[in-house]
Amino acid sequence: MNSLRQFVLCLAATFFVPWLCLIVIPHVKMAKAVAPETWVNQDLGTSQSFPPGTPNAFRRGQEIYAAEGCASCHTQMIRPTYLGLESWRPGFGKEGTIEAPVRTRETVPGDYAGERFAYLGVQRIGPDLSNAGYRHDAAWHHAHLYEPTSVRGFSTMGSFRHLYIKRKIRGQRSADALELSGEFDPGEGYEVVPSETAKALVSYLMTLKKDSPLPPATTPIDASQDAGEDVKKG
């Protein structure tokens, strides 16, 4: 009887202790440190929305990112140096046409301030997207989503053409039309334009710029003022 009781207690402790250390304690710490919608940059003495843009716009793009399964093949976390050598590699995560202001650093919890979910990902079939907003402009991301091999011939990523609209040109060509050539050209008199869903997804990707020199110093603040500003802007 005593052996059974001891076994049950040990079994309960085996599950409870990791749950306490990995979920409960970190959650309590983050809840105290980070305000729901805003953070205070103590170096600059300012408060602002985080991530960039209005919370609703950011979340819309993030929801599409989740729904399309992007987190299945891409991560948003640069591992600490003791878990890998990636942050030591010159230019890691910066390949592209836009130069990031500082060298890539490892991810810290403050990078996800204001996000309901942190899409860390599970494997890197595709590149890490922590700093995707620094690599290319919106036009490149749209072309890449429509047909990955049109900008990267070696890409194994599937096409997201269902997020784009092929239509007949009426009058002038749309300013949002994708620049496609060769076998991907929609044909004379036609154009491919992004849907509102595609625009929201690319806008979200362009906000992924998590390589500030220092993580944002966060303290709880009253988010009502920023929320009011977002309403006025919307």
pLDDT by residue (tens digit) across 86-113?
Answer: 655 555 555 555 555 555 677 777 777 7
The highest-confidence range among 105-109, 183-187, 198-202, by mean pLDDT, is 198-202
pLDDT digits (tens, 9 = 90+) for 105-164: 777 777 777 677 888 888 888 888 988 888 888 999 999 999 999 888 888 899 999 999
Q: Which pLDDT score is estimated for 192? A: 93
> From CA 129, how far away is CA 209, in angstroms rounded?
9
Token pair, residue 3, equals: 């052996």
Give pLDDT, residue 86.
62
Q: State how far the Cα of 220 lies from the Cα of 70, in Å rounded to an integer.
A: 31
Q: According to the model, what pLDDT value does residue 93 have?
A: 53
pTM of the model: 0.67
Q: What is the pLDDT of residue 10?
A: 87
CA distance between the termini of the chain: 66
Angle between helices 196-206 and 138-146 (to 10 degrees): 130
Query: So what's the pLDDT on residue 15?
Result: 87
Render pLDDT for 70-89 as a digit per residue (tens, 0 to 9).
Answer: 999 999 988 776 666 665 55
The answer to whether residue 197 scores a pLDDT higher than 60 is yes
pLDDT band for position 52 (cuts 50, 70, 90): very low
Q: What is the pLDDT of residue 58?
A: 79
What's the distance, CA 199 to chain centroid? 15
Q: Which amino acid is at 28?
A: V
Q: 201 vs 28, 107, 109, 233, CA distance in Å?
A: 31, 22, 23, 20
The pLDDT assigned to 104 comes to 65
